[in-house]
Amino acid sequence: MKAVDGIDLEVAPGEVYGFLGPNGAGKTTTVRMLVTLLLPTGGRASVAGYDVATQPAQVRKRIGVALQEAALDPLMTGSELIELQATLHGIPPRSVRARGAELIDRVGLSQAADRRVGQYSGGMRRRLDLAMALIHEPEVLFLDEPTTGLDPTSRLTLWSEVRRLRDEGTTVFLTTQYLEEADQLADRLGIIAAGKIVASGTPAALKAEVGRPHLDLVLADGSDVAVAREVVRRFGVQRPPGEDCNLSIALQHGAADIAPILRALDDAGFGVAELELKQPTLDDVFLEKTGEHLEGAEEPEPEPV
């Protein structure tokens, strides 16, 4: 079985590249190959100008890696982990403490630096993980689902750090299963499903490709949805309805279709309890390319702080 099959992608220096897909799509396998933890069985990949298969040591010098689940040693303190990582990256001993303290401060862990990581919250672990990945000022930073399982506040903190890194010129390869995260952070993104890239481009371009808005309708109680679906068929392509509606129609003429649809339903004896006009989202892109909704699409958006 191929976890990743013939992926072809290019990330420009200084951009945030989002790699969006559901669980099991092949995101982590791709990252593990790019960070030299896994040898590709075929094809070629280079990171920061070096081949991952034949020049792995050169690649590792130039990348920062924060893998899924923030793998940290719970027995060590934040400072100790930072110093360990710095030494492994060949940072001179005289610079280790200063650089470590600077990064710990940057991710807001100064107060907790001397506490064992086992006592950290999920958000703190993620921030420490990020600090460790940045210790040697990498050219390319790999973040594998950095906000999975985080509370909204921690997620927003991490997002702002990713934006800051982009502003500083770091290339970021970010995998995520969250649409909002990809939409907010990625300059360009690739959508992966079943080991293949099904779409790539800027979020705006991808959404424009889908183009049409869609109308979600909740019919009055007792309505025969199958009959209603036939009534509105002429107005656009029927989409698989989400959990919060009975009917979902990709509108051929945009908002201009709303009134005729409501009239047609009314004429056929259907009451409409709720309706919502939705602009194209990355989920629509995913739906159009794969015929399925993206897992995690219903993940709540972070609340502003």
Partner 1 sequence: MRASIVVLARRALRNAARRPQFLAPLVLFPSLFLALNVGGLERTTTLPGFPKVDGFLDFQLAAGITQSLLLGGVSAGIAVALDIEGGFFDRLVASPAPRSAIVLGRVLAAGVIAAFQVSYFLVLGAVFGVDVKGGVLGVLSVLAIGILAGTGFGAIGVLIALRARNASTVQGIFPLVFVVLFISSAFFPADLLSSPADAVAAYNPLSYIAEGMRHPIAFSNDVVALLEGLGAAAAVTAVALGLSLQALRGRLRQA
**Site residues (CB under 8 A) for partner 1?**
32, 35-39, 57, 60-61, 63, 65, 67-69, 71-76, 80, 83-85, 87-90, 93, 132
Of 65 and 251, which has the nearer Cβ to partner 1? 65
Radius of gyration of the chain (CA): 23
Cβ neighbours of 261 (radius 10 Å): 21
Write down the least CB distance from residue 69 to partner 1, Å. 6
In angstroms, the CA 60 to CA 151 distance is: 31
176 and 150 Cβ atoms separated by less than 8 Å: no
Of 71 and 226, which has the nearer Cβ to partner 1? 71
Of 173 and 270, which has the nearer Cβ to partner 1? 173
Q: Which of 197, 31, 63 is nearest to 140 (CA)?
A: 63
Write down the least CB distance from residue 139 to partner 1, Å. 13
Of 96 and 247, which has the nearer Cβ to partner 1? 96
45 and 4 Cβ atoms separated by less than 8 Å: no
74, HSE (Cβ side, Cα atoms, 13 Å): 6
Of 90 and 304, which has the nearer Cβ to partner 1? 90
Of 45 and 272, which has the nearer Cβ to partner 1? 45
Q: Which of 269, 259, 243 is nearest to 251 (CA)?
A: 259
Quick one: residue 235, left, alpha or beta (phi over 0 = left, psi -120 to 50 = alpha)?
Answer: alpha
Which burial class, exposed, middle or buried, applies to 49 when counting CB atoms under 10 A from its CB (0-12, 13-18, 19+)?
Answer: exposed
Write down the least CB distance from residue 83 to partner 1, Å. 8
Write down the least CB distance from residue 224 to partner 1, Å. 52
Write down the least CB distance from residue 144 to partner 1, Å. 11
Write down the least CB distance from residue 148 to partner 1, Å. 14
Quick one: residue 108, left, alpha or beta (phi over 0 = left, psi -120 to 50 = alpha)?
Answer: left
